[in-house]
Structure 1
Amino acid sequence: MFPVNINNIVVLQREEHLEEIRQYNIARRRMRDGSNPFDLRTDIFKKSFRLNKEMARYVYNSVAENIDTTDNIVAVPPILKFFATLHFYATGSYQYSLGQNFNLSLSQPVASRAIHTVTNAIEERLGHLWVKFPTTVADKMEIKGRFMEATGFPGILGAIDCTHVAILAPNEEEHNYLNRKNFHSKNVQLICDYDLRILNVNAQFPGATHDAFIWRNSFVKQHLERSYNQGDHNTWLIGDSGYPLQPWLMTPFHNPAINTPEGRFNDIHARARNCIERCNGVLKSRFRCLLRERVLRYSPEKVGKIVNACSILHNICIAANLELDENIVNEEEINNERFQNDAQDNIFRQGEATRRRIVNNYFRNN
């Protein structure tokens, strides 16, 4: 048993240590409250958060009420949770440069919790406003007209492709996330218009899932099939040869001769489809947390939410014509897989007839 005086010393030292921690946390809070990310120089602000100041105010005002608040004197203010999350999206890192001292006082666990809260808020408050697949006649005609004007290919409602977002190997069903490129990922389906606006994002599936399976189980496929059965025979997406040919999804011909109607169809099809490859590149270059080299260290469900939030912010940037002042990263590999259509399948035969009609009406002559 310790002498009384030793016990008193131990207790006193513990109390002093706790008081030091309390004072440190108060000082850290004052440092956070005394800084304002909006005071950053415009170019540094954009580089740090990928949005301009006006866009950031709009997004923050839209989601602020969904971000946790507390009277705790050492709690992180909601606005700094917001900017910590934007910075993570932009860089994929919890580390901050010296010029960003507003964030130096956030520990990694605090930043991680902020990312979770703010990501949910962006998805819940802004998702239905900024990522919308066109369903009205007017919206469809606008998108199809833009593709036609730019490429000469009729009826296109969007271009579709999948991209892999790297994650840590999950504890459950790990094998389902190991993709054919031999890293763990979510396989994310994106559909975009000609101007790189994301019309639909599906981040539910693990990396080993084939692109065609994701498409087959998507609400967009069901919507387009239903529209076709109701009489809309002049609307389709375009995808590469890894997708099935369907009357609402046009894929290229297999090895057509050069300068034939089928060859010209393929050339224009590839030119129109290039927008989805550029969209993937711009999205990942703008929000570098999605790059393969970053590897998101969250559960697959949280990774899907981060992808959704980044897609929403991407569309806000596109709407504001905000240029990306960096080289676009292209980490996508050419998909050499070819979907083997069943020649006896009625949907495939209808797709063949639709593709042949397009060739005859638009690509028969030079």
Structure 2
Amino acid sequence: MTRRPKGMRKVAEQDVDTDVVADGPMLQGSSDSRQQVSYIDLTDDQYPQRLRFRKDVVTELCHLLQPDLESQTRLRTALSVASKVTIALNFYTNGSFQGATADISNIFQFATHRSIRQVTDTLKKRRRDYISFPMTREKQLERATGFFRIAGFPRVEGAKGYTHVALRAPLTNPETFRHRKGYHSLNVQLECAHKYQIMVADDRYPGSSHDAFILWQTNVPGLFQLPNEGRGWLLGDKGYLLSTWIMTSLRNTTIPAQHSYNESHATTRNIIEQTIGILKQRFCYLDSSGLR
């Protein structure tokens, strides 16, 4: 059995709040601890590299999440909301618990892990406030007009795509998570509007799940099958079946009109590929090459 370090046993025995800053001196019983560092202490040059957001955006995020993240303990070493958000954003950006993620806030890894979990769970709880597929006539017209301006494809209500987010092999049914390229992943389905707004994000299914299967587990098909609701269609790749509400590219094109259709379809649908690229560029932990 692996023995925990003496300091870690002491923390467990005293049942210290896991929101507490945990450094070497404190674990040995000293009342002193290193000063917490948050985004407030970063220089302007560090923001793009460490957090990928401007200072005012991070401040707004802290205010939004404060009711859920504020520590219930009165200990002076309790992590602040600003520190927790800084830790999480730094992890999303770098994709690693090691190195900069712990250093940026001067805390041990177990406290880092808990902060990331708290912030992630809180963000997920609020996702419906920001990720939605509005089907009012005004919104449908706005999206259709925006997509049409890209390459002349009419009545487009969204571009559909997917990305695989790598993860360590789960203990339960690991093979269902194995992607065809050999690594374990989640098959994350996304749909976006013409200005890169994400309207659907579904991360519930393992890497071996087929894209078309995942689509039918969402509420999206129903949006386009209600009377007088969906008046257009989505653009998808060849992994989806052609239907009255999802348009895919044509195979074996032989005439100019078919070539033009495919060109317009590919150019318009490319908005979802750009959206995924922006997400992975900003948040390295989403990229399989960034999994550490």
| Shorter-chain TM-score range | 0.7 to 0.9
Identical aligned residues as a percent: 30
Alignment of 1:11-90 (within 5 A): 21-23=28-30, 26-28=32-34, 31-32=35-36, 35-69=37-71, 70-90=73-93
Q: Which has the larger radius of gyration?
A: 1
Query: Is contact 2:25-2:32 (8 Å) kept?
Result: no
CA–CA distance in structure 1, aligned partners of residues 110 and 38 of structure 2? 22
- CA distance change for structure 1 residues 231 and 18 in 2, over 3 Å: closer, same or farther? closer
- CA distance change for structure 1 residues 118 and 232 in 2, over 3 Å: closer, same or farther? closer
1:247 to 237, 240, 244: 244
**What SS does the corresponding residue of 1:140 show, helix, strand or coil?**
helix
Query: Is contact 1:166-1:295 (8 Å) kept?
Result: yes
CA–CA distance in structure 1, aligned partners of residues 88 and 26 of structure 2? 30
Query: Is contact 2:212-2:239 (8 Å) kept?
Result: yes
Q: How many pairs does the alignment contain?
A: 268
Cα displacement (A) at 1:128: 2.2
Alignment of 1:96-245 (within 5 A): 96-97=99-100, 102-103=104-105, 105-125=106-126, 127-226=127-226, 230-231=227-228, 234-245=231-242
Residue segments in structure 1 that go unaligned for 5+ positions in a row: 1-16, 297-366
Aligned partner of 2:95: which letter?
G
Aligned partner of 2:267: which letter?
R
What whole-Å deviation, never above 9, does each CA across 1:132-178 have from its counterpart, x for those lacking one? 11221111111111011121101111110111000000011111101
Query: Is contact 2:39-2:55 (8 Å) kept?
Result: no
Query: Is contact 1:156-1:237 (8 Å) kept?
Result: yes
CA–CA distance in structure 1, aligned partners of residues 230 and 198 of structure 2? 23
- Greater share of helix: 1
What is the TM-score of this pair, normalised by structure 2? 0.86
What is the TM-score of this pair, normalised by structure 1? 0.69
Residue segments in structure 2 that go unaligned for 5+ positions in a row: 1-23
- CA distance change for structure 1 residues 36 and 209 in 2, over 3 Å: closer, same or farther? closer
CA–CA distance in structure 2, aligned partners of residues 198 and 27 of structure 1? 42
Cα displacement (A) at 1:121: 1.4
CA–CA distance in structure 2, aligned partners of residues 158 and 72 of structure 1? 49
Query: Is contact 2:26-2:32 (8 Å) kept?
Result: no
CA–CA distance in structure 2, aligned partners of residues 295 and 102 of structure 1? 19
CA–CA distance in structure 2, aligned partners of residues 18 and 84 of structure 1? 21
CA–CA distance in structure 1, aligned partners of residues 162 and 39 of structure 2? 35
Match of 2:254 in 1: 257
1:93 to 90, 93, 96: 96
CA–CA distance in structure 2, aligned partners of residues 250 and 184 of structure 1? 30
Query: Is contact 1:190-1:201 (8 Å) kept?
Result: yes
Query: Is contact 1:26-1:73 (8 Å) kept?
Result: no
Cα displacement (A) at 1:232: 5.0
